[in-house]
């Protein structure tokens, strides 16, 4: 059902105040206009933008999974047909897409005008290379839940601006980027390296970068399925390539180079299998902790529960082995 709200046309054509609008990756603007959040392609909000429809949603998760699987199979089919094995590296595009699919648990709102009163909560998602996003959880008047994803413009300044605006609206209680470092102030920590610290909070362990409290979502379950699949395909590719070389009875330099490349890539999927990149771990989920030496490097290894079948491993590389040992002793004592 569509809802049209009366709007003062003269006021609506005014440019949105600087502290009431932020930019999105798509080039669109996200405005705070009265009692609404409005997304459009202009620095002004007009009467035509204030149309609320909290019924129409889009849920393309199953279709995206099917397309992803088809694309993955197509990549490996092309690899075998053309014999150009480096094409297999395109599989990492499908891995990235699967991460986004995994995170989508609610249908996505199609409309771009959202009453603030219908926003139940917000969640800030840290992205790589500065591509952060904010998920709005929306509940319409009939109790139906949905989400609206705001992909923020790739600058920390714009992200902080968006967070500040949402905090003023009462939609965020804390700053996920923690520019004031309030969460970690006066908390005990162990120095990992020049930029990272291991903080010991009451219920959590935080690996902080530049003294910021960061939470990174985990999609290791999806990753592991892909890693197993890639491992199988790489292993099959090695045997197929060897068979073709023997069958032809000739060993060209090009064949040797391709085989060497495949053998170089072969151990990579298992190397990253079940490895976590979590920057925040609940103490209640920890199963085991120990230090490990690899290639003259010292790691503090934390194994913890997850939605995946097996425990996940978070390996933290400490520059100083003694500090790693002290951190382990302190964690085990708590």
- What is the per-residue pLDDT across 212-221, written as a single tens digit (0 to 9) for each? 766 555 656 6
pLDDT for position 37: 94
**Residue pair 85/261 in contact by the 8 Å Cβ criterion:** yes
Q: Which residue has the higher pLDDT, 232 or 219?
A: 232
Q: How confident is the model at residue 204 (pLDDT cuts 50, 70, 90)?
A: confident
Look at residue 39 and tell me whether its pLDDT is greater than 90.
Answer: yes
Look at residue 28 and tell me whether its pLDDT is greater than 90.
Answer: yes
Look at residue 311 and tell me whether its pLDDT is greater than 50.
Answer: yes
Name 115's bridge partners.
Answer: 36
Q: State the CB neighbour count (10 A cutoff) for residue 191.
A: 14
Look at residue 59 and tell me whether its pLDDT is greater than 70.
Answer: yes
Q: Where are the alpha helices (DSSP H) in the chain?
A: 9-12, 61-82, 91-103, 156-168, 220-248, 253-265, 268-272, 321-333
Average pLDDT over residues 7-27: 69
pLDDT for position 89: 64
CA angle 252, 253, 259 (to 5 degrees): 95
Tokens 């952060």, residue located: 132
Strand order, beta sheet including 108-109: 57-58, 108-109, 145-151, 133-139, 119-125
Average pLDDT over residues 200-218: 75
Q: How confident is the model at residue 11 (pLDDT cuts 50, 70, 90)?
A: very low
- What is the per-residue pLDDT across 161-201, written as a single tens digit (0 to 9) for each? 998 899 888 887 665 555 445 667 778 899 999 888 999 88
Q: How confident is the model at residue 9 (pLDDT cuts 50, 70, 90)?
A: very low
Calpha distance 285→192 (Å, rounded)? 22
Calpha distance 128→141 (Å, rounded)? 36
pLDDT for position 10: 44
Calpha distance 295→278 (Å, rounded)? 23
The token pair that represents 133 in the structure block: 């996003």
pLDDT for position 208: 84
Look at residue 31 and tell me whether its pLDDT is greater than 90.
Answer: yes
pLDDT for position 302: 93
**Residue pair 25/151 in contact by the 8 Å Cβ criterion:** yes
Q: How confident is the model at residue 62 (pLDDT cuts 50, 70, 90)?
A: confident
pLDDT for position 298: 93
SS3 62: helix
**Residue pair 52/2 in contact by the 8 Å Cβ criterion:** yes
Calpha distance 113→10 (Å, rounded)? 19
Across the chain, mean pLDDT equals 80
Average pLDDT over residues 26-30: 92
Q: Which residue has the higher pLDDT, 236 or 138?
A: 138
> Residue 192 belongs to what H/E stretch?
none
- What is the per-residue pLDDT across 98-109, written as a single tens digit (0 to 9) for each? 666 666 667 889
């Amino acid at each position: 059902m569509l809802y049209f709200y009366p709007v003062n046309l003269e006021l609506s054509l005014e440019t949105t105040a600087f502290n009431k609008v932020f930019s999105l990756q798509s080039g669109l603007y996200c405005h705070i206009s009265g009692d609404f959040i409005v997304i459009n392609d202009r620095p002004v909000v007009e009467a035509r933008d204030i149309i609320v429809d909290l019924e129409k949603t889009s849920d393309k998760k199953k279709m995206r999974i099917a397309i992803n699987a088809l694309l993955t199979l197509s990549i490996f089919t092309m690899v075998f047909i053309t014999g150009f094995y480096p094409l297999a590296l395109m599989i990492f595009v499908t891995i990235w897409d699967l991460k986004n699919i995994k995170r989508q648990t609610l249908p996505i709102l199609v409309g771009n005008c959202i009453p603030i009163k219908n926003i139940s909560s917000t969640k800030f998602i840290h992205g790589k290379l500065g591509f952060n996003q904010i998920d709005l959880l929306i509940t319409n008047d009939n109790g139906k839940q949905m989400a609206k994803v705001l992909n923020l413009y790739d600058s920390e300044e714009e992200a902080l601006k968006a967070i500040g605006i949402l905090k003023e609206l009462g939609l965020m209680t804390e700053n996920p980027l923690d520019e004031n470092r309030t969460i970690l102030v006066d908390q005990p920590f162990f120095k990992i390296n020049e930029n990272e610290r291991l903080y010991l909070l009451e219920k959590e362990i935080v690996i902080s970068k530049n003294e910021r409290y960061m939470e990174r979502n985990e999609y290791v379950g999806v990753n592991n399925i892909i890693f197993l699949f890639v491992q199988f395909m790489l292993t099959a590719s090695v045997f197929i390539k060897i068979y073709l070389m023997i069958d032809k009875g000739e060993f060209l330099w090009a064949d040797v180079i391709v085989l060497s490349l495949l053998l170089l890539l072969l151990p990579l999927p298992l190397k990253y299998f079940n490895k976590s990149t979590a920057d925040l771990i609940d103490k209640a989920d920890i199963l085991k902790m120990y230090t490990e030496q690899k290639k003259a490097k010292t790691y503090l290894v934390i194994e913890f529960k997850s939605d995946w079948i097996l425990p996940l491993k978070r390996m933290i590389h400490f520059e100083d082995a003694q500090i790693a040992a002290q951190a382990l002793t302190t964690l085990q004592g708590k």
